[in-house]
Amino acid sequence: MRGIAVAIVAFLVSIVGGVVVRHQHPLHLVFVGDVMLSRSVGAEMVRRDDWTWPFEHIASVTAGADLTFGNLETPISLRGTVQGCGYCFRTDPRAVQGLVFAGFDVMSVANNHANDYGPVAHADTVAILASASIGAAEPGRPVIRDIRGTRVAFLAYSYPLNETRITSDIAAIRASADVVVVSMHDGIEYQRTHDAEQERVYHAAVDAGADLVVGSHPHVVQELERYHDRWIAYSLGNFVFDQNFSSDTMHGMLLDVTVTGGHITGVASRSVTISSLYQPSISP
């Protein structure tokens, strides 16, 4: 009986104003850039018959987090038709094994390659991710994950960015989440400095209530900025990619984010190096 009484007292103490106090144990979230599982990367997985191959040297980092997020630059499907894209990506559904192995929980499917093989392949991608318990974030389809009592919302957009829609979506979801993360697929490819449009829209997202903005598409790392006590990573660069024509495109940024009591309390960047066989690892 004494044990039951102690438990009841502890529960009552945890309630302030009728709201249960959130557990204070810090959460560890990981954010990475472009994940492209087609072209040379896909060919290497097929050759080895190993769909976890790209993540062999990084999975201990990404899968060890409470939540891992990236931009999926590849439709996952065996269906669809090419939509006239200059570089068209599509990968075998077995590639989802690698995403599971690497511990991905949420991925943006809002990018310029999402519809390379049309709406059928895009629908397959969302369904295949869902079958692996990976959320697919895109305009009109935010993802909210409850991590030990902390609600983290993910919104994702691709260029051309609609600032009015983005800020409206953030305002609408703000009351439903402790932490709001916005993924932006925008910017100028291979440019290491963000441009004026990125700054304007990304700042507007923070002003509307975003706690963290993470960018992709330039394929190289851009600045990490603290703005109004919130964080913006203008471009995390590549994470898994076969753009081995330059050193910049074979490096990326991994963002370690700490959340305590429903608030971001720490952000740290780690450099990622992509090998000639398209495998990312933490740079020494």
> How does residue 283 score in pLDDT terms, banded at 50, 70 and 90?
very high
Tell me how far apart the alpha carbons of residues 35 and 37 are, in angstroms, rounded to a whole number: 6
Range 62-81 average pLDDT:
98
Tell me how far apart the alpha carbons of residues 265 and 257 are, in angstroms, rounded to a whole number: 8
Distinct helix (H) and strand (E) counts, the chain:
7, 16
pLDDT value for 86:
87
Tell me how far apart the alpha carbons of residues 64 and 58 are, in angstroms, rounded to a whole number: 10
Tell me how far apart the alpha carbons of residues 27 and 137 are, in angstroms, rounded to a whole number: 21
pLDDT value for 63:
98
Give percent of the chain with pLDDT exceeding 70. Answer: 92
The pLDDT of residue 3 is above 80: no
Residue 254 in 3-state DSSP?
A: strand
pLDDT value for 23:
52
Do 51 and 99 form a contact (C-beta atoms < 8 A)?
Answer: no
More confident residue, 84 or 88: 88
Helix axes 196-208, 163-174, angle to 10 degrees: 20
Indicate whether this model's pTM tops 0.85. yes
Longest dimension (CA), the chain: 71
The pLDDT of residue 12 is above 60: no
The pLDDT of residue 130 is above 50: yes
Residue whose token pair is 């931009």: 71
Side chain identity at residue 223, one-letter code = E
